[in-house]
Amino acid sequence: AQAQQAMENMWDKTSVAKEHRDLQWFKDARFGLFIHWGLYSQLAGSWKGKRYYGSGEWIMHQAKIPVKEYEQVAKEFNPTDFNADAWAQLAEDAGIKYMVITAKHHEGFAMYDSRVSDFTIVKASPFKKDPMKALADATRKRNIRFGFYYSQFVDWHETNGGGNEWDFDANKKNYQLYYQQKAIPQLKELLTQYGPLSIVWFDLPGGLSKAETQSLVDSLHALQPQSLFSSRVGQGLGDYKDFGDSEVPPVPIKGAWESIYTHNDSWGYIEHDMNFKTSGEIIQLLANVASKGGNLMLNVGPDGKGNIPYYSKKYLEETGKWLVVNGESIYSTTAGFIPAQPWGVTTAKPGKLFLHVFNMPQNGKLLVPGFRSGVDKVYALAGKKQLSFKRRENDIIIDLSASTKAPADTVFVVEYTDDNK
């Protein structure tokens, strides 16, 4: 209870409910795809023969690469295998409802056609096209919500941007000037040239007071009032809450929120990182996050040629196959009202409790404790086969001895009449 109170207080401080903005689509979505793609993808975790591990998108910082040298990477960056339709199709096949991609990460390189800077994929790389435009179109065609990640403060390419203290003197930086000259104009480009953006995913705030952040947020929301801004815009001004990386709250949290995970150990592509989560792990993670009332946004890191790694494709497609059968227990659900059990977690819809069984009970008897409502029926979600069950005071004991196990998460449904909460 104490943990729950602490989490709720944190929620109140970090996000303000914006009644006029539609949060329902976001709460219903449950599964998003995050994509980190930039010049770091071309470096693939290596610089001058030395390998780096973890957060490949931080390589410029890790190796303290001078701006002038880093600019040369753009000349080699030519993602000729990039296929917006294939990426959007993968997202659709995976059962993903929204996509957020890095329009500009900390390296400062615009992955879109920006007039504000010369350091862009169109002007500085041989590719010369705008992949963000193609992705905005490809996702729209498939009814997948689309949004941009934009590193508003950290920009290692700019004298006055946040973070680069190996080329530039931190004491001489004028962050206001950087915001005026680059971050704000680029955000305005993104909010006006790519159709409706469902999300602007800000990251690592800095250099602005609360009042300045408020006016930044207001001026950007004026361009697209329905666009949701992530809580990392800072000063508690986001529309929904993002937890720390790879973090799921221990108890259900109210409001709109998201947990972000990356598929392996890095956000940006690293050639020597093969530590991918299997589809089973992704499915359990998705169910676990949904059981607390939130969304999972899972990241993939395409390579410098524009290919999504083989294992990301494979495991995402397998996740999608599970969702075709079991999606009803994930999308548009709320947190389960039975807390996590040794066998798994729960999600809910009016009149239905979904049991996500990760570990089938050895003796074939599944115990659902503390269920006060009258139960109408219990069945397996796949195939709808009804199961026999017994009541023991406030417990339900379900006979699973004849049930077939699904990979990673076998879902059972308890249909009940009165309100259990």
For residue 55, state whether it binds ligand JFZ (rule: CB under 6 A): yes
Q: Decide: 157 and 108 in contact? Cβ < 8 Å.
A: yes
For residue 57, state whether it binds ligand JFZ (rule: CB under 6 A): yes
Report the residue from 93, 203, 303, 318 that binds ligand JFZ according to the rule CB under 6 A. 203
Nearer to ligand JFZ, 266 or 373 (CB): 266
Q: Tell me the torsion sign for CA atoms 179, 181, 186, 189.
A: positive
Burial 333-346 (b: 16+ CB within 10 A, else e): bebbbbebbebbbb
Q: Closest Cα partner for 97 from 345, 330, 255?
A: 330
**Interface stretch with ligand JFZ, choices 9-17, 55-63, 269-277, 289-297 (CB under 6 A):** 55-63
Q: Tell me the torsion sign for CA atoms 209, 249, 295, 316.
A: positive
CB of 407 to ligand JFZ, least distance (A): 28
CB of 376 to ligand JFZ, least distance (A): 43
Nearer to ligand JFZ, 101 or 400 (CB): 101
Q: How far apart are CA 340 and CA 356, in angstroms?
A: 10
CB of 57 to ligand JFZ, least distance (A): 5
CB of 267 to ligand JFZ, least distance (A): 5
CB of 151 to ligand JFZ, least distance (A): 8
Footprint of ligand JFZ on residues 212-271 (CB under 6 A)? 244-245, 260, 267
Strand-pair category, 50-51 with 344-349: unpaired
Amino acid at 40: Y
Burial 293-326 (b: 16+ CB within 10 A, else e): bbbbbbbbbbbbebbbbebbbebbebbbebbeeb
CB of 373 to ligand JFZ, least distance (A): 38
CB of 219 to ligand JFZ, least distance (A): 24
Report phi then psi at 407, rounded to 5: -65, 130
CA distances in angstroms from 146 to 100, 101, 113, 196, 412, listed in the order given: 6, 8, 17, 8, 32
Contacts with ligand JFZ by CB under 6 A: the residue count is 9
Report the residue from 6, 177, 204, 325 that binds ligand JFZ according to the rule CB under 6 A. 204
Q: Decide: 109 and 74 in contact? Cβ < 8 Å.
A: yes
Nearer to ligand JFZ, 267 or 354 (CB): 267
CB of 234 to ligand JFZ, least distance (A): 11
**Interface stretch with ligand JFZ, choices 21-29, 52-60, 62-70, 178-186 (CB under 6 A):** 52-60
Give 206-249 as a DSSP string: -S--HHHHHHHHHHHHHH-TTPEEBGGGSTT-BSBEEEEET---
For residue 206, state whether it binds ligand JFZ (rule: CB under 6 A): no
Q: Which two tokens stand for residue 137?
A: 């179109």
**Interface stretch with ligand JFZ, choices 51-59, 336-344, 362-370, 386-394 (CB under 6 A):** 51-59
Nearer to ligand JFZ, 75 or 166 (CB): 166
Nearer to ligand JFZ, 55 or 307 (CB): 55
Q: Footprint of ligand JFZ on this chain (CB under 6 A)?
A: 55, 57-58, 203-204, 244-245, 260, 267
